Structure 1
Amino acid sequence: MKRYALALDLVDEPQLISEYVSYHQEVWPEIKASIKDAGIENMEIYKFGNRLFMVMEVTEEFSFERKANVDKTNPKVKEWEDLMWKYQQALPGAAEGEKWVLMDKIFQL
């Protein structure tokens, strides 16, 4: 099993942050299915202010590229991702159109 850590910022408006959190209390079943089908065995998102931190535990077969390609053909995932852009903003230094940015591990005990 492999673990990834990613970061993203939300638009810094309390009402939008509250809406975003609400969506993530009841994620659409199609989105949960697409996450699991991609080989993601566990996913957690943490929030501090408008900063998000995600931890993903994935199978050895998982690939970000494969997931992105499959997501492009899934209308429900596209609907979810388009909706989430209302709340999300790219981190400084993120590539054009990039949402979640992969973080580098710099310490482990």
Structure 2
Amino acid sequence: MRYCLALDLKDDAELIARYEEFHRKVWPDVIRHIREQGVSSMEIYRLGTRLFMVMETDDAVYDAERMAEAAQSNAVIQEWEALMWKFQAPTPWTPAGQKWVLMDRIFDLRQQ
């Protein structure tokens, strides 16, 4: 399954540069956690302060709620998320208490 999610960054060039630096060498435990949860591919793109994530998952393994629960019980993931939140900001459409939010697909060329 493919998921597309959005999140914003704080509008600060220095913070954005640091955020990108962290993502050039993501902590190994974070990568392991993502893969163990059934995520087979993940890409993050940036335009200004807007981030766009494309995530491909193995439907036999991936469960968003289970992944969130696993993250809550993993001290390294919690440390990473707290660090990333120093750079991140919710979009204007992000529900309170959330970070990345699913985007709605409005066009698919294969269906035309």
TM-score, structure 1 as length reference: 0.97
1:76 lines up with 2:76 in the alignment: yes
Runs of 4+ in 1 over 4 A off after TM superposition: none
Counterpart in 1 of 2:2? 3
Distance 1:62 1:28 in 2: 21
Matches within 5 A, 1:37-52: 37-52=36-51
Structure 2 partner of 1:33: 32
Name the structure 2 match of 1:106: 106
Distance 2:11 2:97 in 1: 19
Structure 2 residues without counterparts, runs of 5 or longer: none
Structure 1 position 49, deviation (Å): 0.8
Distance 2:100 2:94 in 1: 8
What are the ranges of 5 or more consecutive residues in structure 1 without an aligned counterpart? none
* Equivalent in the alignment of 2:63: 63
Return the offset for 1:88.
Answer: 0.3
**Deviation (angstroms), 1:94:** 1.1
- Deviation of the 1:93 alpha carbon: 2.1
Q: How far apart, CA to CA, are the structure 1 residues paired with 2:7 and 2:57? A: 19
2:22 alignment partner in structure 1: 23
Between Structure 1 and Structure 2, how many residues are aligned? 108
TM-score normalised per structure 2: 0.94
Identity of aligned residues (%): 48
Q: Deviations over 1:49-81 (max 9, x none)?
A: 111000000011311111000000000000000
What letter corresponds to residue 100 of structure 1 in structure 2? W
Q: Quote the offset at 1:97 in angstroms.
A: 1.5
What amino acid does structure 2 have at the position aligned with 1:83? L
